[in-house]
Structure 1
Amino acid sequence: MTFEPTLDFARQLDAQDPLREFRQQFLIPPGPDGQGECLYFCGNSLGLQPRTARAAVERQFDNWQNLAVEGHFKGETPWMQFHERLQGASARIVGAKPVEVVVMNNLTTNLHLLLITFYQPTATRYKVLMEGGAFPSDQYALETQVQQRGFAPDEAIVELVPRTGEHTLRTEDILAKIEELGDSLCTVIMGGLNYYTGQVYDMGAITAAGHAVGARVGFDLAHAAGNVELHLHDWDVDFACWCSYKYLNSSPGGVSGAFVHERFADQPELLRLAGWWGYDEKERFQMKKGFKPMRGAAGWQLSNGAVLTMAVHEAALQVHEAAGGMPALRRKSELLTGYLEFLITRLGLGREQLEIITPADPAQRGCQLSLLVHRNGRDLFEHLMAVGVIGDWREPNVIRLAPVPLYNTFEDVYRVGEVLAEWASRQ
């Protein structure tokens, strides 16, 4: 598409947008001084509240009030099986079968639980491969997992870094490193989408390369789930986890998801940390010794689900499903992000001032653009916030802006472009 830097053009795109009505299903914070709506471009950090979320929680408060403990077994949404209500939609978001997905805990807890199973080092095969500068939770989780197995993180953890003068990783370099590590590589664990640069990794190719040398392969999909199309089952990924509060709009600190490939579904002997809720539900209340896991990803559950946060998650997933799921969202996302890229590029700022470090190829990015601001970056960020453009700042000098297709419009993008153009005119 040939973009135009005009308000009329942006409004024309909005008029043609088949998802335009979904904006009304979200509560958008007010702008500066409480006037109008802000320009919210921070769904990469926290998604907006669905209008249906409050009522979904209130229904569970009513069940708690009227049924008390019997709410586990009675009512329209018995709590015993509440997590099962979320499996289908969650599986579609990540490209999985329902048996491969479970909604539970939070992301880092799930990462630890999965690493117990899928990082099983030996004296010779003990190394872990991850991207350098991964989100801190992933770094800390791996450090402690490695230490608990008796290895030094500096020796066991191998970090991938871009080539000199580049900001993102090349797929061929990732695959070459996997081949180089060979029999010493135990587990690959990477973000599906790098939180800092916005780069989407070729998860299918990485998984195939890891399996070729005998390693397990998993992904932290915190910034990918609900943002880009995923095909975890078809890619043959071993394990993955994600949060629900970014692009899935399921409340701050909301419940997480986990994926375990179907080929592990009937392997009860797999080492794991066990809990009551992961025990075979047909025999759970017999309270017997000897852990007998549920089939599939549900066998990694520990405790009964947090129903209030799962209720919000269900409400958010229903909006996601009504919008047509990831294919429909990606079609709009590529246009929205492309329009923002167009408006930033035409500012005419040199790379010594500002550069987009997110890949230009839509297949290698989601809706986030990371702006590396070499001069006065913090001033720009504070100016954006002051005029009601809500993005986020990542040290040392990156501003992340994410136009989310469920609730952002092309006019939103145009307005952000206006603010950036006004700032650029003063540089």
Structure 2
Amino acid sequence: MNYQDTLAFATELDAQDQLGGFRNEFLIPKHNGKYAIYLCGNSLGLQPKTAKLYLQDQLNSWETLAVEGWFQGDDPWLAYHKKLIGPLSNILGAKPAEVTVMNSLTVNLHLLMVSFYKPTGKRYKILMEAGAFPSDQYAVESQVRFHGFDPADAIIEVKPREGESTLHTADIIKLIDDNADEIALVMFSGINYYTGQFFDLETIAATAHKAGAYAGFDLAHAAGNVPLQLHDWGADFASWCSYKYMNSGPGGISGVFVNERHFTDTTLNRFAGWWGYRHDQRFLMAQGFQPEVGAEGWNVSTAPIMLMALHKASLDIFEKAGGVPALRAKSELLTGYLEYMIKQVNTNFGDDVYKIITPTDPAARGCQLSVVCKRNAKAIFNYLADNGVIGDWREPDVIRLSAVPLYNTFTDVYESAQQLANALKAIN
């Protein structure tokens, strides 16, 4: 598309946007009496207007049915999680039996590594991207220590080339191949939180399997953002959070994917709990864990219904919008326009103050653009916030901006670029 640096162009794109009405499904924060420009869905998605209703329905069931709410009412809690599986399997490119909803992201990664990090002999190392989100780094470090290994030896990190910010798939492949005899697990983000790079998960999984290792993914910044085909790509496992692009509330419920080829593998360890026991005999309260077939066999604790209700409010909007394929088409245009407008600001000032480190290829990114501010970075970030543009800050000099197709507009993008320009005028 031939973008233009005019408000008229942005408003025309908004008028043509078939998904534009979904913005009205969300509660947008205000700044000085006007709607803020919210470009922070990569950190916390906006609240669906239906969230209070969905939550209130379950509070009403608790009020009127108490414990019988597990078995009675319009949405008996015992099977409530099943209402989420269809929409999630569509978002993740998985079979319904491969998906379940449980816990929070890092807890799930630990539980999954109990099953899929199986160090033996010289095959004990975990390969991951350098600069992964700290929680992933801490989880992997603690897992290798738990098995008696030194993280400095047992963790292999793929680093960007000198002078670059993002990774080359060829370098990931080479490092896996070079260490094929020692790698037990390849554990990668779907999208790197800092750079916004969307990795080639299919190739990473295939290369890991060729090396004799498992492949698992943290999809915190990918789920609900970019097209995923976990089953077809051959991923062994994955987990994600629901509070970013899936708009399910701060600390919202997570979920896991386990490839169906592992359902009957009795060599896999797992930390068991009552909620993962086979459903048809759960209430017999028998000793000896017998897992439910499918990803639900990895469940541990009782379903948190209130968190699931908030999750369902957002997932229902995804379904109405046509799912990730429809959202992705708009997302590529929207993020492309944001990229264009940031570059226009640089051109107009004759100085590349704003350097985008996220890949330019739409296939290698999602909604997010990570922008290095070459001078007065924190002051510029504060200026944006003071003028109603909500992004987020990452040390030492990166502003992350995400134009989310469910609720952001092309006018949002245009006006945020105007504030980026105004910041340069105001801050010497």
TM-score (norm 1): 0.98
- Alignment deviations for residues 54-104 of structure 1 (CA, whole Å, 9 cap, x no partner): 010100011001111111111111111111111110111010000000011
Match of 1:274 in 2: 272
Match of 2:190 in 1: 192
Note the C-alpha offset of 1:358: 0.1
What are the ranges of 5 or more consecutive residues in structure 2 without an aligned counterpart? none
Amino acid at match of 1:4: Q
SS in 2 for 1:182: coil
CA contact (8 A) 1:268 1:293 kept: no
Is 1:203 aligned with 2:165? no
Match of 1:264 among 248, 262, 265: 262
- In 1, Cα distance between equivalents of 2:149 and 2:267: 25
Match of 1:95 in 2: 93
- In 2, Cα distance between equivalents of 1:22 and 1:353: 34
Match of 2:369 in 1: 369
Match of 1:161 in 2: 159
- Alignment deviations for residues 217-237 of structure 1 (CA, whole Å, 9 cap, x no partner): 010000000000000000000
- In 2, Cα distance between equivalents of 1:129 and 1:397: 28
Match of 1:284 in 2: 282
SS in 1 for 2:194: coil
Percent identity, aligned pairs only, is 55
- In 1, Cα distance between equivalents of 2:266 and 2:118: 16
Match of 1:415 in 2: 415
User: Matched residue pairs, number?
Assistant: 425
Match of 1:84 in 2: 82
Note the C-alpha offset of 1:289: 1.2
- Alignment deviations for residues 274-318 of structure 1 (CA, whole Å, 9 cap, x no partner): 000000010111111111001111001011110001001011100
SS in 2 for 1:380: helix
- In 2, Cα distance between equivalents of 1:117 and 1:245: 26
- In 2, Cα distance between equivalents of 1:100 and 1:214: 22
CA distance change for structure 1 residues 285 and 350 in 2, over 3 Å: closer, same or farther? farther
What are the ranges of 5 or more consecutive residues in structure 1 without an aligned counterpart? none
Q: How does 1:10-409 map to 2 (within 5 A)?
A: 10-31=10-31, 33=32, 35-347=33-345, 348=347, 353-409=353-409
CA contact (8 A) 2:55 2:309 kept: yes
CA contact (8 A) 1:49 1:249 kept: yes
- In 2, Cα distance between equivalents of 1:324 and 1:268: 38
- In 1, Cα distance between equivalents of 2:204 and 2:372: 27
- In 2, Cα distance between equivalents of 1:84 and 1:109: 21
CA distance change for structure 1 residues 241 and 211 in 2, over 3 Å: closer, same or farther? same
Note the C-alpha offset of 1:351: 7.5
- In 1, Cα distance between equivalents of 2:158 and 2:356: 21
- In 2, Cα distance between equivalents of 1:95 and 1:351: 43
Note the C-alpha offset of 1:269: 4.6
Note the C-alpha offset of 1:266: 2.4
CA distance change for structure 1 residues 341 and 352 in 2, over 3 Å: closer, same or farther? closer
- In 2, Cα distance between equivalents of 1:303 and 1:269: 22
Amino acid at match of 1:19: L
**What root-mean-square deviation, in Å, do the aligned CA atoms of Structure 1 and Structure 2 show?**
1.1
TM-score (norm 2): 0.98
Q: Which moved more, 1:241-250 or 1:269-278?
A: 269-278
CA contact (8 A) 1:370 1:398 kept: yes
Note the C-alpha offset of 1:346: 1.4
SS in 2 for 1:282: helix
Amino acid at match of 2:382: E
SS in 1 for 2:279: coil
CA distance change for structure 1 residues 422 and 304 in 2, over 3 Å: closer, same or farther? same
Amino acid at match of 2:316: Q
CA distance change for structure 1 residues 299 and 268 in 2, over 3 Å: closer, same or farther? farther
SS in 1 for 2:301: coil
- In 2, Cα distance between equivalents of 1:7 and 1:307: 44
- In 2, Cα distance between equivalents of 1:340 and 1:424: 17
- In 2, Cα distance between equivalents of 1:75 and 1:83: 15
- In 1, Cα distance between equivalents of 2:113 and 2:207: 19
CA contact (8 A) 2:380 2:423 kept: yes
Q: Where has structure 1 moved over 6 Å in runs of 4 or more?
A: none
Note the C-alpha offset of 1:267: 2.7
CA contact (8 A) 2:354 2:371 kept: yes
SS in 2 for 1:418: helix
